[in-house]
Amino acid sequence: MNHRLKYLAFVPIVILALAQFFPIYVIALTSFKTPLALMEDGMSLSFVGLSLENYQKVVQEDGFLAHIWVSLLIASFATFFSIVIGSLVSFALTRFRFRGKKFLTLSILCSRMVPPVALAMPVFLLVDVLGIHDTIWGLVLAHISFILPFCIWVLLPFFVALPHDLAEAAVIDGLNSRQIFSKVYLPLALPGILVASIFCFLFSWNDFLYSLILAGSQTKTAPLAINAYMTSDRIEWGAMSASSMIVMVPIFLLSLLVQKHFAKGVPSAGIKG
Amino acid sequence: MSQFTSRRNIFGFLAPSITVLLFLLFIPCLYTLYLCFFEELDAIGGKKAFIGLKNFRMLLLDQEFLSSFFLLCAYILISTGLELAMGLGVALYLDRFLPKAKKIQALLLLPMFVIPVVSGLGFRYIFDPENGVLGSLFYRFNLEAPDILGGPLGAFVLVIAQDVWRMWPFMFIIIFAGLQMVSKEQVEAIKLDGANFIAQCRYVVLPALKPTLIVAILLKVIESFKAFTEIFVMTGGGPGNATTILPLFIVKQITDFREFSYGSAASFVLLSLSLIFIIIFSRLQSKFNGAKDPV
């Protein structure tokens, strides 16, 4: 193919990429405009009235960082527990032989596809019964319910890929299975654990459904706080965009780290999972 | 490896996850089913009365539920169809003309990483007739901007547009990966026979791609049952009930009406519907994998 044709082939794709990028660009631009400039007619895409006012308002007046902190705590705990539980079971599923293994694997892998909305009702009641309504633990528990199956799904291929003879060698060296797990396999599975942690964190961080149902005044997560800028009488577009950016930018950076795995992971979900 | 098969050892590794899955997934599922047959007499956890299938009968007579059910079906059918077309089209295009352009592919995937709340709000802002992007553009031309989100059909179209924007890249990656496995020799062979691009697609590429396409469609449908946040933020289910698809209906039962048993019956409908697709999917998977054990 000659060069000119090749550049021509880029045109539709570049247009498509710009269209894909446009809503993100609009939010970024809006976040940097003064509320006054946002009120002006016909100016939503102009560069007039750029400032950091929205960010100042969101952080200093509205205390948005407190909500970030809540989200951060919940996502960290949910990720931590999911990874611990997930790597234990991944190890067992790939290194032990036992009855019902196939069934267990299948049910774990299938449970990641169950829509959380369908379980919202019983999880809500469970949290209520446990009396952890409006604490971060209620949300941590709810998040684990949909993060853990996903976590195991990401971890399993990494554990499958680790060589089998390692365990045999370790047994000969006199290590018991707990030591084999923690001293031999865990360090080797670290890249997988890192990828899975990022995924778990993203899922918990992005969650809105359970926050909406379970969070109270003490546990208002960042996505809920963003949504709160929209009330029935008005929408504070500037503050809303600024808080969205604060929530989104770290996520984008994190997702860049796993994007390669993401592109790989989804198709293998189709073929492997 | 005697100790590797000892029961005590295995138990320690399996117990935490089995406990979690049991209490957070399996028992909640069963409890949902259990609640369907009861009616709340007072507050949460209070007395319940057994009412048999009455909740389901009520669902069938509830206009709001029926509309949410059919809207969910329409939402899934239309968005999946459009995303399949987009994903397949772009994958074929990139595979033919720009197979090495990895950077631009990454750009196309960007919306998948936008958090749902933000993508919903972003779309709302873009189509806001007063201060939003659409309003601004119309103002420049001295025209009154249409309130698309204010109309039932418009709102539904935009809800789908938002989903397509965010999720077609999901179809694209699966299909593009599948395309790499289509045998290039076969394509070359039919090319030598004088087949044009369309014929190549029709007789070689698409038949070879069929399993991938089925997997992609099933995964997307399963994913669609989870749709909630973007729609809730964009339209709140309105105007009226125009965008209240089943998941929104269920959440409304919890947050607005506190109708736990009735909501459970609706949850059960959603759960069974998604389980049908999940089971088809896992069946197909084991078929495609043949004798190969995934673990």
pLDDT greater than 80 at residue A106: yes
pLDDT greater than 80 at residue B275: yes
In this prediction, residues A149-164 reach a mean pLDDT of: 87
pLDDT greater than 90 at residue B257: no
Which of A120, A208, A237 minimises the CB distance to B254? A120
Cα–Cα distance measured from residue A267 to residue B215, given in angstroms and rounded to the nearest whole number:
9
Cα–Cα distance measured from residue A192 to residue B209, given in angstroms and rounded to the nearest whole number:
30
Identify whether B22 is part of a domain. Answer: no
Mean pLDDT across chain B: 85
Longest dimension (CA), chain B: 82
- Binned at pLDDT 50, 70 and 90, residue B90 comes out as very high
CA B96 → CA A70, A111, A260, B92, B181, distances in Å?
A: 47, 37, 22, 6, 14
Q: Return the exposure string of B84-101: e unless at least 16 CB atoms fall within 10 Å of the residue's CB, then b.
A: bebbbebbbebebbbeee
In this prediction, residues B8-36 reach a mean pLDDT of: 85
| pLDDT score, position B288 | 67
pLDDT tens, position by position, B148-164 = 888 899 999 999 999 99
What residues does each domain of chain A span?
72-271
In sequence order, the β-bridge partners of residue B144 are: none
What pairing do the DSSP bridges indicate for beta strands B48-50 and B38-40? antiparallel
Q: Do B165 and A20 touch (CB under 8 A)?
A: yes
pLDDT tens, position by position, B206-238 = 888 888 899 899 999 999 999 999 999 998 887
Cα–Cα distance measured from residue A67 to residue B218, given in angstroms and rounded to the nearest whole number:
36
| pLDDT score, position B231 | 93
Q: Do A121 and B17 touch (CB under 8 A)?
A: no
More confident residue, B5 or A128: A128
Identify whether B76 is part of a domain. Answer: yes
Cα–Cα distance measured from residue B51 to residue B45, given in angstroms and rounded to the nearest whole number:
17
pLDDT greater than 90 at residue B77: yes
Q: Which two tokens stand for residue A108?
A: 């774990």
Containing structural domain, residue B189: 54-289
Mean pLDDT across chain A: 84
Is the CB of B101 inside 8 Å of chain A's CB atoms? yes
Identify whether B26 is part of a domain. Answer: no
User: Which residues in chain B are closer than 8 Å to A262, comparing Cβ atoms?
Assistant: 109, 112
pLDDT greater than 80 at residue A1: no
Cα–Cα distance measured from residue B118 to residue B189, given in angstroms and rounded to the nearest whole number:
48
When divided into structural domains, chain B yields a total of 1
Are residues A54 and A239 in contact, defined by beta-carbon separation less than 8 angstroms? yes
pLDDT greater than 50 at residue B202: yes
Q: Do B90 and A16 touch (CB under 8 A)?
A: yes
Q: Residues B87, B89, B93, B95: is their CA dihedral positive or negative? A: positive
Q: Return the exposure string of A57-94: e unless at least 16 CB atoms fall within 10 Å of the residue's CB, then b.
A: bbbeebebeebbebbbebbbbbbebbbebbbbbbbbbb
| pLDDT score, position A108 | 86
pLDDT greater than 50 at residue B32: yes
Task: Please spell the DSSP secondary structure of B44-105, one letter per residue.
Answer: TTS-EEE-TTHHHHHHHH-HHHHHHHHHHHHHHHHHHHHHHHHHHHHHHHHHHH-TT-HHHH
| pLDDT score, position A267 | 37
pLDDT greater than 50 at residue B295: no
In this prediction, residues B112-132 reach a mean pLDDT of: 87
In this prediction, residues B197-206 reach a mean pLDDT of: 84
Q: Which two tokens stand for residue B43?
A: 């507050």
- Binned at pLDDT 50, 70 and 90, residue A261 comes out as low
pLDDT greater than 60 at residue A86: yes
| pLDDT score, position B229 | 92
pLDDT greater than 80 at residue B99: no
What is the torsion angle, in degrees rounded to the nearest 10, for the CA atoms of residue A31, residue A35, residue A40 and residue A41? 50
| pLDDT score, position B248 | 94
Q: Which two tokens stand for residue A122?
A: 């019983």
Contacts of B69 (CB under 8 A, 6+ apart): B246, B269
Cis ω before B239 (30° cut-off from 0): yes
Identify whether B15 is part of a domain. Answer: no
More confident residue, B281 or B51: B281
Q: Return the exposure string of A187-217: e unless at least 16 CB atoms fall within 10 Å of the residue's CB, then b.
A: eebeebbebbbbbbbbbbbbbbbbbbbbbee
CATH code for the domain in which residue B258 is found: 1.10.3720.10
Say yes or no: domain A72-271 is CATH 1.10.3720.10: yes
Quote the pTM value: 0.87
pLDDT greater than 80 at residue B6: no
Please tell me whether residue B37 adopts helix, strand or coil conformation. Answer: coil
Q: Which two tokens stand for residue B191?
A: 């090319």
CA B37 → CA B33, B58, B262, B271, distances in Å?
A: 8, 12, 9, 16
CA B22 → CA A97, A154, B246, B267, B277, distances in Å?
A: 21, 20, 26, 18, 22
Q: Which two tokens stand for residue B167?
A: 């999720």
Is the CB of B9 inside 8 Å of chain A's CB atoms? yes
| pLDDT score, position B4 | 52
Are residues A92 and B14 in contact, defined by beta-carbon separation less than 8 angstroms? yes
Task: Please spell the DSSP secondary structure of B222-283, one letter per residue.
Answer: HHHTT--HHHHHHHTT-STTTT--HHHHHHHIIIII--HHHHHHHHHHHHHHHHHHHHHHHH
In this prediction, residues A71-78 reach a mean pLDDT of: 95
- How far apart are the CA of A65 and the nearest CA of chain B, in angstroms? 17
Residues 156-175 of B with CB under 8 A from A: 165, 169-170, 173-174
Residue B271 half-sphere exposure, CB side, CA atoms within 13 Å?
Answer: 24
In this prediction, residues A260-270 reach a mean pLDDT of: 48
In this prediction, residues B166-190 reach a mean pLDDT of: 87
- Binned at pLDDT 50, 70 and 90, residue B69 comes out as very high
Report the complex ipTM.
0.85
| pLDDT score, position B70 | 95
Of B171, B203, B3, B197, nearest to B83 (Cα)?
B171
Which of B12, B119, B228 minimises the CB distance to A209? B228
Q: What is the residue type of A38?
A: L
Q: Do A115 and B225 touch (CB under 8 A)?
A: yes
| pLDDT score, position B182 | 82
User: Which residues in chain A are closer than 8 Å to B116, comparing Cβ atoms?
Assistant: 206, 208, 223
- Binned at pLDDT 50, 70 and 90, residue B251 comes out as very high
Lowest mean pLDDT among A162-166, A260-264, B120-124, B281-285: A260-264
- Binned at pLDDT 50, 70 and 90, residue B44 comes out as low
pLDDT greater than 60 at residue B239: yes
Pick among A113, A156, A186, A255 to test the B interface (most B CBs inside 10 A) = A113
